């Protein structure tokens, strides 16, 4: 996961720059899809831990060259974030003290100003050499056995207490005390005067009804298996069609390499969408579990041989692009373009048949899950 995460991040930075990488990490649907294409359980709260941990390990050897630094993590690692940011400041010249203060303030906002029953246990802080940053942190409600993820982005951030989040994703908890809500501005201003008289009036303001329409919500079910309703099938068919139509033209050298076949090209097509896809295409993160399976065996075990070959192909493409030979990386991008074009007309096997076929196919590709 560290190796695949690293090469995908390098491709994004090469194509679109560091700021775009930070924007994507702050997008909850993309973040979930990224974790799924890396082989993590598509529906799991563990995707947050896995993605942050994999990126921290994977990018460490190239953080100076790439200009992207991943700090923090889960548990005790989260508490070390301010010190890590100070060291980043010493190495890069950005204001490490300001970043450390931001880290503490963001954590305090999501643990005190947003009182939703979730206790923070993970804090990931991704910062560039330019001082731009994204924070991804997660809280757990032990009674419900549910998690909630909080995304922050420095770009466009005007206040840490007035609607500061890029997104908050998790199951609806009903009425909560959220003093970062834009409607709570009067409440925040009044609290200085209300400390002595108690919080009743503040909470009444927070609980006032709103006419604001709800934002798109990343709803992850409790079931572990991938079901037909979790996937936009026409998008999956579009990717399959792109592999069949595009690969022979764009990957002649690759397809003649022993061990590389349609399965690896399909995984590359899904990875290409994570690298190039627009935000609206990530409404069904379960679909990306079809790229390289899931470690829990859903929708099928991870085809380890195809996983390794996918990393090798992307690594060769990214390394060539660094030397101004962009042909291979451009070919990967064309897979994504073709998949979008094919969606409207592409047909294919049913959901159940697709899962069954892949389950059989991965046995020849070193298929493994955590139970193996």
Q: Can you read off the two tokens belonging to residue 223?
A: 């079931």
Which carries the bigger pLDDT value, residue 336 or residue 135? 135
Per-residue model confidence as pLDDT tens digits over 53-87: 999 999 999 999 999 999 999 988 999 999 999 99
Which of these, 347, 318, 348, 353, lies nearest to 332 by C-alpha position? 318
Asked, for residue 39, whether it belongs to a domain, the answer is no
Whether residues 238 and 358 fall in one domain: yes
Which carries the bigger pLDDT value, residue 360 or residue 182? 360
Band of residue 186 on the pLDDT scale cut at 50, 70, 90: low
Range of the domain at 333: 228-368
- For residue 211, what pLDDT is reported? 57
In our burial notation (b when 16+ CB lie closer than 10 A, e otherwise), range 146-158 reads bbbbbbbbbeeee
Whether residues 343 and 279 fall in one domain: yes
Average pLDDT of span 361-367? 83
Domain boundary among 206, 241, 273: 206
Residue ranges in the chain assigned as alpha helix (H): 2-16, 18-25, 28-37, 46-59, 63-66, 76-79, 81-92, 96-108, 185-194, 200-206, 233-250, 252-255, 262-276, 289-292, 304-322, 327-342, 351-361
Sign of CA dihedral 255, 261, 266, 271: negative
- For residue 32, what pLDDT is reported? 93
Whether residues 139 and 280 fall in one domain: no
Round to whole Å and give the CA distance between 121 and 142. 11
Whether residues 173 and 252 fall in one domain: no
Whether residues 134 and 175 fall in one domain: yes
Q: What is the 3-state secondary structure (H, E, C) of 171-228?
A: CCCCCCEECCCHHHHHHHHHHHHHCCCCCHHHHHHHCCCCCCCCCCCCCCCCCCCCCH
Whether residues 307 and 159 fall in one domain: no
Whether residues 177 and 249 fall in one domain: no
Q: pLDDT at residue 199 above 70?
A: no
364 forms bridges with which residues in the sheet?
none
Asked, for residue 7, whether it belongs to a domain, the answer is no
Whether residues 232 and 333 fall in one domain: yes
Whether residues 273 and 191 fall in one domain: no
Whether residues 159 and 247 fall in one domain: no
* Contact criterion met (CB below 8 Å) for 219 and 273: no
Per-residue model confidence as pLDDT tens digits over 225-236: 888 888 888 888
What percentage of the chain carries pLDDT values higher than 70?
A: 86
Q: pLDDT at residue 222 above 80?
A: no
Domain boundary among 206, 238, 265: 206
Domain boundary among 159, 175, 206: 206
Highest mean pLDDT among 124-133, 173-182, 284-293: 124-133
Asked, for residue 288, whether it belongs to a domain, the answer is yes
Q: Is 177 left (phi over 0), alpha (psi -120 to 50) or beta?
A: beta
Asked, for residue 222, whether it belongs to a domain, the answer is no
> Number of folded domains in the chain?
2
Asked, for residue 21, whether it belongs to a domain, the answer is no
- For residue 177, what pLDDT is reported? 76
Pairing of strands 114-115, 119-128: unpaired
Band of residue 364 on the pLDDT scale cut at 50, 70, 90: confident
Q: pLDDT at residue 363 above 60?
A: yes
């Amino acid at each position: 996961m560290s190796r695949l995460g690293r090469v995908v991040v390098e491709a994004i930075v090469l194509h679109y720059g560091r700021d775009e990488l930070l924007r994507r990490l702050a997008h909850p649907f993309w973040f979930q899809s990224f974790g799924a294409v890396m082989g993590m359980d598509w529906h799991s709260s563990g995707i947050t831990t896995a993605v942050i941990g994999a990126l921290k390990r994977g990018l460490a050897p190239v953080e100076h060259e790439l200009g992207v630094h991943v700090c923090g993590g889960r548990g005790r690692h989260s508490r070390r974030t301010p010190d890590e940011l100070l060291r980043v400041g010493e190495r890069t010249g950005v204001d490490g003290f300001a970043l450390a203060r931001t880290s503490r303030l963001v954590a305090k906002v999501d643990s005190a100003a947003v009182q939703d029953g979730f206790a923070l246990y993970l804090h990931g802080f991704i910062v560039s050499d330019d001082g731009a940053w994204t924070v991804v942190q997660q809280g757990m409600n032990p009674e419900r056995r549910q998690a909630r993820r909080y995304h922050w982005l420095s770009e466009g951030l005007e206040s840490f207490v007035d609607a500061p989040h890029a997104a908050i994703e998790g199951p609806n908890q009903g009425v909560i005390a959220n003093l970062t809500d834009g409607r709570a501005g009067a409440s925040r201003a009044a609290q200085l005067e209300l400390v002595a008289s108690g919080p009743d009036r503040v909470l009444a303001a927070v609980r006032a009804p709103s006419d604001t329409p709800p934002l798109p919500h990343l709803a992850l079910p409790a079931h572990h298996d991938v079901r037909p309703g979790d996937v936009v099938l026409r998008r999956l068919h579009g990717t399959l069609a792109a592999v069949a139509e595009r690969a022979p033209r764009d990957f002649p050298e690759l397809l003649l390499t022993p061990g590389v076949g349609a399965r690896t090209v399909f995984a590359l097509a899904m990875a290409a969408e994570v690298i190039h896809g627009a935000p609206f295409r990530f409404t069904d993160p379960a679909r990306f579990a079809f790229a390289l399976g899931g470690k829990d065996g859903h929708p099928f075990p991870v085809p380890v041989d195809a996983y390794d070959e996918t990393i090798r192909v992307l690594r060769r493409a990214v390394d060539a692009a660094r030397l101004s030979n962009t042909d291979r990386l451009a070919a990967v991008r064309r897979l994504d373009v073709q998949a979008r074009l094919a969606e409207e007309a592409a047909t294919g096997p049913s959901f159940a048949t697709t899962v069954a076929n892949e389950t059989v196919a991965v046995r020849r590709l070193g298929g493994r899950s955590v139970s193996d």
